[in-house]
Structure 1
Amino acid sequence: MITNPFKTTTSILAFSALLAFNSGFAQKNTKNTKDAPVFSNFVYQGKDKIYDENPLKEGEFYSPILQGCYPDPAITRKGDDYYLVNSSFSMFPGVPIFHSKDLVNWKQIGYVLDRPSQLKVETAGVSAGIYAPDIKYNKHNDTFYMVTTQIASGIGNMVVKTKDPAKGWSEVKKLNFDGIDPAIFFDDDGKAYIVHNDAPDKGKERYSGHRVIKLWEYDLEKDDVIPGTDKIIVDGGVHPDQNPIWIEGPHLYKHKGKYYLMCAEGGTGDWHSEVIFTSDSPKGPFIPANNNPILTQRYFPKDRKNKVDWAGHADLVEGPNGQWYGVYLAVRPNEKQRVNTGRETFILPVDWSGTYPVFENGLIPMKPTTKMPKGVTNQVGKNGFLPNGNFTFTDNLSTPNLDYKWIAMRGPRENFINVSKDGTKVIPFTTNIKAQAPVSALFHRQQHATFDATVTLKYQPKSEADLAGITCYQNEKSNYVFGVTKKGNDTYLVLERTEKSGSKLLASEKIDVKKPIQLQVTAKGDDYNFNYSTDGKSFKNLGGTVSGDILSTDVAGGFTGALIGLYSTSGNDVRP
């Protein structure tokens, strides 16, 4: 089971202080751009069997709606417009934001935190940075709010605002309370509240994983909680006598005159669940429903086919025609129970005709398809809408504004890329992929258990310190590097595996790079292969079949999914 690494508020603050120590860090390009590698013609193809075996029928769409590392979804509505955000940790830009008119067809409209002034993660661990964002629209002042926890640079809990989510967000306003996972709620009378996960009062922690949910009144003029208004509204969880762990990810709602508090419980691993409480007041007391949990996958055989697991951390929204829906995270392990694709965003209809909301089919083994809302046409993968299921993403990497899919790690991609009609130059940093620092790599999420990813590389390294190619990356201590470097007067293609115990060269081969070459990574569950082509027709393998174990959070640790990077460095330490 994976649980939160920050057991107390004190540890969060200490961690933030450690990161803040080097908050002025900024990596610089060290080479003339004429020597930089040029990447072009990137093709990613998803080939998961589950989609071949479960073709869509009339009136269906696939869930997850966001495949790959898009965890901790939160959603809001203004009129007919829906906006969804996800955790982004130390990826840059941060907090991807998506828009839909119908909850089926989605477009990414950008990122909430798209400037270094908003996101200070230069020295943060991959699974630090941005945790559990919440987005809510306040009809009383026609303003969108995004609150989250930034585990970096001493920022902690924070808020940004906008009138239009597609036109940029304000600078960060630090919020004065401890804990993590804040969510904001706007009541009918115009008052606002914050709920969040926190440690128990000092001296009252009963067991490891004991957490509480706190509520604060929120001052909309000052954009901060009102001192002295904090109150513990849940202590431990649904059954305090059973020592429930990690009550977190809270959201507050008002429905038919009553207040509902929905939270994740059980940690983010295989005991994850979603639970619900109700009250006549936003300040409680909150009484748990008798039918908790209302969403989980923890009760089913571990060897079930097409397993979806770890379901929880949900948010609710009223959809078209008054039908409620819930977005939530879950994972789809491969045949060896690895979770290389990370925690993804799923959706289910919610029945709220009774006292409590109930996720339809949220307490049975989950299926890959979901019924569409009435009157909606499935345009997924068409007309600019994001694809899901098995799809192919092709990018010649020559468009000045690169696709939103491309992200960097710990700093802006603009610091190291140069886009031209021939492709994208990835200008090398002196740091390499093993550094807990900004790295010169453009990353694309792994979105399928079975996939091919191929890119054309034009590059002639000048020394053994130079390398460019593909990286399959979980974090700085868990990754593969498949790239071109130099030894003496010869050019080599190398494959290196890095894990917690150290790095190992798996294979190397002398190669002619006078002409562009193609590099390819393929995966089929836990089996990964790294291939290359010098003629654009036939591919040759280097290093045989290797395990994707280090690209899974159950081996590498943390909360992110695997990334495929177009990478260069002038600080290479892989020796053929």
Structure 2
Amino acid sequence: MKHTWGWAWCALVAFAAQAGEARFTEVRYRGDDGGPVPTAAQYRNPILAGFYPDPSVVRAGDDFYLVNSSFGYFPGLPVFHSRNLVDWRQVGNAIDRPGQVDLGQHELTRGLFAASISEHAGTFYITNTCFYCDRGNFVITARDPAGPWSDPHWLGFEGIDPSLFFDRDGSAWVVNNGLPEGKLRYDGHRAIWLQQLDLATMTMVGPRKVLVDAGADPASHPEHVEGPHLFRRGDYYYLTAAEGGTGEQHAQMVYRSRAIFGPYEAWHDNPTLTQRDLDPARPDPVTSAGHAQFVELKDGSWWAVFLATRPYEGNHYNIGRETFLLPVRWEDDWPRILPHGERVPAIAQRPALPRATDVPPMSGPMAWRESFAGKHLPPAWVSVNAPRTRWFGTGRGGLWIAPSATPLGEFAGGQPSYLGHRLQHHHADLEATVEARGLQAGEHAGLAVLQNESHFYALALAREAAHTTLALWRRASADEPAPGVAIASVALPQGVTSARLRFKLQGAAMRAEYAVAGNGWQVLADNLDARLLSTQTASGFIGATFGPYAWRDGGDDGTD
């Protein structure tokens, strides 16, 4: 069953008594980053382009399911289905009800961190951390990965990145990153812990023990050992965990033991995956590879999903950390994802599984159009934190949004009226058609491209007494007041209240354009710095999103 947000996607109630409204009749997207074209026997990396970090995968019979981090966006924890590990379709979001997890009113880089999906006896489990939430780590369950998922069972232990492992006897075990026993020896000193989970009570039981202290080579003071997963093959338990931080020093390590509590031996040829040993000046780099999870196919072959990034200049990438796939080769009962010094390939040989012909692409060249004609938005659309009132809806000739008194960049008192879709290319056209006739004085509506609350651009219409104005807004630091600064504007022709708005991204450069009354595109602002949308500039862990946005200049519009 395809699960949606529930009430949050219902038809919009009238806003006339409280505020104006903006109508968006369509959003269009076209992206193409070039690169080699795969043959019918090959696939393209990444398999999920754009802001889909921290992948976790599980096989259930002939089906594969994958979940990613979502941080402060709602709905959270996108869930994908595939029959071949390459072609993926989003079937839902594990956190899709405002009451499941209280994301609060925090920065977007907080919230739902690395999730892990597993399956046992027909039930699916996702373990996760709500970072900066009061209760931390939790597990949710579902009979169908498309949802609905249960409310959280809070687990009560310290740390992040929990992963649930089912042993051959059916016992359930949770590994996670946490503080080490005793004193920290250095700032990034962390440990990997193991404890049993009682499935009947969904509580942690028995001893809690450190499996790895610091990392594969403790004497080198490795940074932030994290993202652990356990699995079994033959006589060994295998523990895999990332270290080096989630940036360019990211690497994946492997350990093994004949007993679940260890001791665990680190592979002498670690890391099993990294790109940190390559020339930083190489063309078309893939960087920051790590946070991997292994999965065994029915034919006995093994594969790994992992995150990596594709910078377009230096360490600038606007699309966030993405999901990649590579085969695993076993060497003396150790799993190797990629030999030392080798680059993550842009194309590789497909798994020996049937191709999918009806799945829209999630990587490579793509183009799509959303007209908002259905009762619900597709599961890829997200808001900043969870809605608390009905400020948007579909089904009346498009998407209708009530402008919020809380613009992007503010937290206190309300929620921005913004619906985003993940940006999936560095070379892309982002387009929206907006009707501003329903706006009231002081209200704005248009298209935003958002890295985080302090770094974004927005093209927005505003109704004035004699005409409609189009302005380009930019926020380039937390020191600038929300909603940012209007850096370009134009008065539209008399009587015109609607426009097509477009951002054209070309790596580090961006252009803002508009078209009215059936005329061609006109440039409002050129040579904009798209690096403002990168994590290198804005900091944090997320990738850019884009979509409809509306706000009003102060006051109380009832949507907060």
TM-score (norm: length of structure 2): 0.92
1:362/1:389 Cα in 2 relative to 1: closer, same or farther (>3 Å)?
Answer: farther
Partner of 1:192: 172
Instruction: Select 1:497's aligned residue among 470, 474, 488.
Output: 474
Instruction: Select 1:219's aligned residue among 198, 204, 213.
Output: 198
Partner of 2:57: 75
1:401 matched to 2:376: yes
> What is the distance in 1 between the residues matched to 2:187 and 2:309?
25
1:506 matched to 2:518: no
Instruction: Select between 147-156 and 286-295 the one with higher mean Cα deviation.
Output: 147-156
Give 1:274 shift.
Answer: 0.3
Is the 8 Å Cα contact of residues 99 and 107 (structure 1) preserved in structure 2? yes
Instruction: Select between 284-293 and 32-41 the one with higher mean Cα deviation.
Output: 32-41
Higher helix share: 1
> What is the distance in 2 between the residues matched to 1:255 and 1:169?
30
- What letter corresponds to residue 84 of structure 1 in structure 2? L
1:322 matched to 2:303: no
1:535/1:249 Cα in 2 relative to 1: closer, same or farther (>3 Å)?
Answer: same
- What letter corresponds to residue 287 of structure 1 in structure 2? E
Q: Can you list the C-alpha shifts for 1:196-218, whole angstroms capped at 9, x where unaligned?
A: 0011224x200110101111121
Instruction: Select between 79-88 and 144-153 the one with higher mean Cα deviation.
Output: 144-153
Is the 8 Å Cα contact of residues 467 and 496 (structure 2) preserved in structure 1? no
Aligned residue pairs, count: 536
Alignment map for 1:297-308 (pairs within 5 Å)? 297-308=275-286
Q: Can you list the C-alpha shifts for 1:279-323, whole angstroms capped at 9, x where unaligned?
A: 011101111001100000111111211111000001110125221
> What is the distance in 2 between the residues matched to 1:386 and 1:490?
41
Partner of 1:526: 508
SS at match of 2:115: strand
Is the 8 Å Cα contact of residues 83 and 100 (structure 1) preserved in structure 2? yes
- What letter corresponds to residue 294 of structure 1 in structure 2? T
1:413/1:79 Cα in 2 relative to 1: closer, same or farther (>3 Å)?
Answer: farther
1:362/1:319 Cα in 2 relative to 1: closer, same or farther (>3 Å)?
Answer: farther
1:94/1:185 Cα in 2 relative to 1: closer, same or farther (>3 Å)?
Answer: same
> What is the distance in 2 between the residues matched to 1:339 and 1:549?
8
Alignment map for 1:113-262 (pairs within 5 Å)? 113-139=95-121, 142-202=122-182, 204-226=183-205, 229-262=207-240
Give 1:357 shift.
Answer: 0.8
> What is the distance in 1 between the residues matched to 2:281 and 2:100?
43
1:451 matched to 2:428: yes
Alignment map for 1:438-477 (pairs within 5 Å)? 438-460=415-437, 462-477=439-454
Partner of 1:36: 21
Structure 1: runs of 5 or more not aligned: 1-27
Give 1:31 shift.
Answer: 5.1
Give 1:486 shift.
Answer: 3.9
> What is the distance in 2 between the residues matched to 1:308 and 1:220?
40
Is the 8 Å Cα contact of residues 183 and 196 (structure 1) preserved in structure 2? yes
Q: Can you list the C-alpha shifts for 1:73-102, whole angstroms capped at 9, x where unaligned?
A: 001111111110000001100100001111
SS at match of 2:334: coil
Q: Can you list the C-alpha shifts for 1:107-134, whole angstroms capped at 9, x where unaligned?
A: 1110111111112113021011101001
Give 1:55 shift.
Answer: 1.4
> What is the distance in 1 between the residues matched to 2:54 and 2:208?
24
Instruction: Select 2:459's aligned residue among 482, 501, 510.
Output: 482
- What letter corresponds to residue 371 of structure 1 in structure 2? Q
Is the 8 Å Cα contact of residues 134 and 184 (structure 1) preserved in structure 2? yes
> What is the distance in 1 between the residues matched to 2:375 and 2:228?
40
1:471/1:375 Cα in 2 relative to 1: closer, same or farther (>3 Å)?
Answer: closer
> What is the distance in 1 between the residues matched to 2:340 and 2:514?
44
Give 1:535 shift.
Answer: 3.0
Is the 8 Å Cα contact of residues 73 and 85 (structure 1) preserved in structure 2? yes
1:540 matched to 2:522: yes
1:290 matched to 2:268: yes
Give 1:537 shift.
Answer: 4.0
Is the 8 Å Cα contact of residues 189 and 224 (structure 2) preserved in structure 1? yes
Instruction: Report % sequence identity.
Output: 34
SS at match of 1:549: helix
Instruction: Select 2:409's aligned residue among 434, 453, 459.
Output: 434
> What is the distance in 2 between the residues matched to 1:385 and 1:31?
38
- What letter corresponds to residue 160 of structure 1 in structure 2? I
> What is the distance in 1 between the residues matched to 2:520 and 2:302?
51
Is the 8 Å Cα contact of residues 44 and 363 (structure 2) preserved in structure 1? yes
SS at match of 1:226: strand
Instruction: Select between 483-492 and 28-37 the one with higher mean Cα deviation.
Output: 28-37
RMSD: 2.0
- What letter corresponds to residue 148 of structure 1 in structure 2? N
- What letter corresponds to residue 321 of structure 1 in structure 2? D
Partner of 2:9: none
Q: Can you list the C-alpha shifts for 1:127-175, whole angstroms capped at 9, x where unaligned?
A: 1110100111113xx3211100012441200010112212311111111
Is the 8 Å Cα contact of residues 451 and 524 (structure 1) preserved in structure 2? yes
> What is the distance in 1 between the residues matched to 2:353 and 2:128?
34
Is the 8 Å Cα contact of residues 399 and 421 (structure 1) preserved in structure 2? no
> What is the distance in 2 between the residues matched to 1:274 and 1:536?
53
- What letter corresponds to residue 348 of structure 1 in structure 2? L
Q: Can you list the C-alpha shifts for 1:399-457, whole angstroms capped at 9, x where unaligned?
A: 22222221111014983222125211122222111212522111011100100011111
SS at match of 1:49: coil
> What is the distance in 2 between the residues matched to 1:542 and 1:251?
50
Is the 8 Å Cα contact of residues 193 and 215 (structure 1) preserved in structure 2? yes
- What letter corresponds to residue 287 of structure 2 in structure 1? D
1:271 matched to 2:252: no
Structure 2: runs of 5 or more not aligned: 1-12, 556-560
Partner of 2:85: 103
Give 1:464 shift.
Answer: 4.7
> What is the distance in 1 between the residues matched to 2:388 and 2:547?
12
- What letter corresponds to residue 485 of structure 2 in structure 1? K
Is the 8 Å Cα contact of residues 135 and 154 (structure 2) preserved in structure 1? yes
Is the 8 Å Cα contact of residues 393 and 401 (structure 2) preserved in structure 1? yes
> What is the distance in 1 between the residues matched to 2:457 and 2:248?
27
SS at match of 1:415: coil
Instruction: Select 2:364's aligned residue among 356, 368, 389.
Output: 389
